[in-house]
Structure 1
Amino acid sequence: MTKQLFPLALGGLGIGTTEFVIMGLLPDIANDINITIPVAGHLISSYAFGVVIGAPILVALSAKFPAKNILIAFMLLFTIFNFLSTIAPDYYTLMLSRFLSGLPHGAFFGVGTVVAAKLAKEGKAAQAIASMFTGLAIANLAMVPLVTYIGHHFHWRYAFGIVSLIGILTILFLYKWLPKQKALRTVTFKEELEFFKTIKAWHILMIVAIGFGGLFAWFSYIAPLLIYVSKFEVGSVSYLMIVAGAGMVVGNILGGYLADKKNPVIVSIFLLFSMVTALILVFFFSEFKVISIILTFICGALAMSIGSPINMIMLSSAKHSAMLGAAFLQAAFNVANSLGSFFGGIPLFLGFEYNYPSLIGAAMALVGAILCLVFLKKYKG
Structure 2
Amino acid sequence: VAFRFISGLPHGAYFGIAAVVASSMVPNDKRAGAVARVMMGLTLAMLLGNPIATFLGQHFGWRSAFALVSAIAMCTIALVWQFVPDRHDEPRSDPRKELRAFTKPQVWMALSIGAIGFAGMFCVFSYLAPTMLEVTKVSPQWIPFGLAAFGVGGIIGNIAGGKLFDRLQFRAVGWIMVWSMAVLIFFTFAASSLWSVLLGIGLVGTMIAMAAPLQIRLMDIAHEAPSLAAASNHAAFNLANALGPWFGGMAITAGYGWTSTGYIGAATALVGLGIYLIARRMKGGH
Query: TM above 0.5, one fold?
Result: yes
- Superposed displacement of residue 257, structure 1: 1.1
Contact persistence 1:215–1:365 (CA under 8 A): no
Give matches, 1:191-270, under 5 Å: 191-263=97-169, 265-270=170-175
1:266-322: CA deviations, max 9, x gaps? 1111111111111112223311322211111111112x2111111111111001111
1:200-234: CA deviations, max 9, x gaps? 21111111110001211111111111111111211
Q: CA RMSD in A?
A: 1.5
Structure 1: gaps of 5 or more residues: 1-94
2:218 and 2:19 mapped to 1: Cα distance? 11
**Letter of the aligned partner of 1:212 in structure 2?**
F
- Superposed displacement of residue 184, structure 1: 6.0
**Letter of the aligned partner of 1:253 in structure 2?**
I
Contact persistence 2:32–2:216 (CA under 8 A): yes
- Superposed displacement of residue 182, structure 1: 3.5
**Letter of the aligned partner of 2:172 in structure 1?**
V
1:295 maps to 2:200? yes
**Letter of the aligned partner of 1:299 in structure 2?**
V
**Letter of the aligned partner of 1:292 in structure 2?**
V
1:123 and 1:363 mapped to 2: Cα distance? 33
Contact persistence 1:117–1:126 (CA under 8 A): yes
Contact persistence 1:205–1:332 (CA under 8 A): yes
Relative distance call for 1:169 and 1:190 in structure 2 (3 A) is same
**Letter of the aligned partner of 1:171 in structure 2?**
I
Relative distance call for 1:298 and 1:348 in structure 2 (3 A) is same
Q: Hey, what does 1:348 align to over in structure 2?
A: 252
Aligned residues: 285
1:375 maps to 2:279? yes
**Letter of the aligned partner of 2:138 in structure 1?**
F
**Letter of the aligned partner of 1:280 in structure 2?**
I
Structure 2: gaps of 5 or more residues: none
- Superposed displacement of residue 119, structure 1: 1.6
**Letter of the aligned partner of 1:271 in structure 2?**
I
1:155-208: CA deviations, max 9, x gaps? 122111110000010011111111102486655211221120122211111111
Matched residues, percent identical?
33
- Superposed displacement of residue 104, structure 1: 0.7
- Superposed displacement of residue 349, structure 1: 2.4
2:205 and 2:91 mapped to 1: Cα distance? 34
Q: Hey, what does 2:215 align to over in structure 1?
A: 311
- Superposed displacement of residue 347, structure 1: 1.8
Greater relative contact order, per chain length (Cα 8 Å cut-off, separation 6+)? 2
Q: Hey, what does 2:183 align to over in structure 1?
A: 278
Q: Which moved more, 1:153-162 or 1:101-110?
A: 153-162
1:255 and 1:157 mapped to 2: Cα distance? 34
2:108 and 2:67 mapped to 1: Cα distance? 37
1:324 maps to 2:228? yes
Relative distance call for 1:277 and 1:184 in structure 2 (3 A) is farther
Contact persistence 1:217–1:344 (CA under 8 A): yes
TM-score (norm 1): 0.72
1:362 aligned to 234, 242, 266, which one?
A: 266
Contact persistence 1:269–1:372 (CA under 8 A): yes
The runs of at least 4 consecutive aligned structure 1 residues that moved more than 4 Å come to 183-187
Relative distance call for 1:324 and 1:359 in structure 2 (3 A) is same
Relative distance call for 1:122 and 1:279 in structure 2 (3 A) is closer
SS in 1 for 2:86: coil
